[in-house]
A and B are shown apart, each in its own frame.
Chain A
């Protein structure tokens, strides 16, 4: 099972490190990362494997969500199926 982590907001130092740290702490394996900064707006999309996570999916969502709030960015963790079904025929 895979999930998509998206981070959107003003660019600051250490976002990627912290988000990957959280993923590692929950034993979520990072499969793909892409990021870009456009006019100070930082966007990162990360595909993670959550088949072997050690905690509940909800805990992972909560801890990343809380981290996002702390640094003033929006972090979503969503099952990849929603994107697959919306954008692929």
Chain B
């Protein structure tokens, strides 16, 4: 966890402290991402803080050592055997994880999809994450505010096997069409350091003069593109990134990147752990809970996204704090019957 994440974690923990009295010490929450990725690092502190603040038995971050659906399934099965009784899971695959989620639910454990959704129908009580299409759309709109009509933009994004990637590609295309811009290139399958370095640097080396703007909708491409623009040294190209990696934040401060679309992984883990315990304590999800819909589920809760430009970047922790606090304060009354 980097300094910024620690500050965010500490700040949120202090801010959200109340209402732990009804917690169940037998609650053991497992927060399981699809594999190692910096986006999920905040879940570890979120779980630890939630366990402390709400008096849970534990809320542990358990990472499959690789991004393999089979390995994640194997880990989840192992966690059941180890006695975990609540699961916050980033689905390794929105469809492929449904079966294991249903099996976990059959053991009586509440299961929530976090940061990414399961395809309906599933036994997950809900999905809490970023509205990825909306985030990509808003990010592109922010980019186009800086560019004139007819701007040529490129889009660096994540893996094609992730259906969210197609949503992001469509959203960027829609925003570009509305703003009179042209998406001249989409480079996908690069949310890992090696392909991102190779493809982004090769593309910019060959086409830097043809590009007016860059929008990135995955963590690693945002980092790599930020570094590439810093190396090129030309601030003519306007870029909007995603997430809060220190490389991106520093590039915004130094003027190489226009801004970033922040997401809220800490809030997902913290609130998710709290809700898992409440559900184990007898609360139920309201039948008329005001869930949103997305391409995968009708039980979606937006964990928040916000644009942070040069003027906001020093206080981006505060921006995310306020989003999380609002969501947390109203969560029980909005979504649960207790």
A binds B: no
Binding site for B on A (CB under 8 A): none
Binding site for A on B (CB under 8 A): none
